[in-house]
Amino acid sequence: MKSASPPAGRPPLQLLSVVIPARDEEGCIASTVEHLHVELRIHGIPHEIIVVDDGSTDSTWDTLQSLQERLPMVRPLQNTGQHGFGRAIIWGLDNMAGDAAVIMMADESDDSRDVVRYWQLLNEGWDAVFGSRFIRGGGVIDYPWLKRRVNRLANLFIRLMFRIRLNDTTNAFKAYRRTVIDGCRPLMSPHFNLTVELPLKTIVRGYTWTVIPITWRNRRTGTPKLKMKEMGSRYLFICLYVWLEKYFSRGDYKREA
């Protein structure tokens, strides 16, 4: 499941930026960052870990400052503007130093080993790498049945609407070269709909992409931030926006070969 083959002969990437939005994640953010850093260090991947505190009211910010004292590659940032999951990610992307980025959740639901695989595939020349929990080799652990049902219906709608085989578009955990992120601007989504905007713009604007199986585990501490009742219209809006771009922009945003 992929687009055209990646361009050959690209220079190796120099620095990976992992962007993690966090709001009231005092119970898990330290272990998420520490496990990620260990995995990347073992594989010799140069990295920075940008954690964007999105208006936490608990001790998340204090925990991040303590982490930075021990791990200098950790870059805690505070989203000083309006809050929202998408806004926090955009804040991190705007401040990243790397030439590639992985967006990752703060609750350790994403597997750090998959970040290594993302990096390796980006270095093969792909513009973007998308993970899917619902292809052979992928999997989910303790996924609430209602949330899973809604997820599968939403992704089926996106597949039919855009005529793509990618079946986990709504999952945030994906990897992009900096050139893709810049080429997908302006980023409009203030909330979880950014997880749809980025991959769909990547596809519509002609960047190369591939898909790998990933694993996901439901959070063990804290409370979920995604409110399904609030997100339906927002997902629909951004899907329609990108769909209109695909069919009516006359290639104005298309990546030049």
- CATH number of the domain that 149 lies in? 3.90.550.10
Number of domains in the chain: 1
0.85 exceeded by pTM: yes
- Assigned domain for 178 exists: yes
Is the per-residue pLDDT at 49 higher than 80? yes
Report pLDDT digits (tens) over 155-164: 999 999 999 9
Report pLDDT digits (tens) over 99-132: 999 999 999 999 999 999 999 999 999 999 999 9
More confident residue, 159 or 233: 159
How does strand 16-22 pair with strand 47-53? parallel
- Assigned domain for 146 exists: yes
Question: Picking from 18-22, 99-103, 230-234, which range would have the lowest pLDDT averaged per residue?
Answer: 230-234
* Helices and strands: H and E segment counts in the chain: 8, 9
What band does 255 get if pLDDT is binned at 50, 70 and 90? confident
- Assigned domain for 257 exists: no
Is the per-residue pLDDT at 228 higher than 60? no
Q: What is the pLDDT of residue 186?
A: 95
Average of per-residue pLDDT across 206-234: 81
Distance CA(71)–CA(106), nearest Å, equals 17
In residues, how long is the chain? 257
Q: What is the pLDDT of residue 113?
A: 97
- Assigned domain for 176 exists: yes
- Assigned domain for 43 exists: yes
Owning domain of residue 170:
16-248
Q: What is the pLDDT of residue 229?
A: 59
- For residue 153 the two structure tokens come to 């219906």
- Assigned domain for 2 exists: no
Is the per-residue pLDDT at 167 higher than 70? yes
Average of per-residue pLDDT across 58-70: 97
List, in sequence order, the alpha helices (H) in the chain.
29-42, 60-70, 85-94, 112-123, 145-162, 178-183, 194-204, 228-248
Q: What is the pLDDT of residue 224?
A: 63
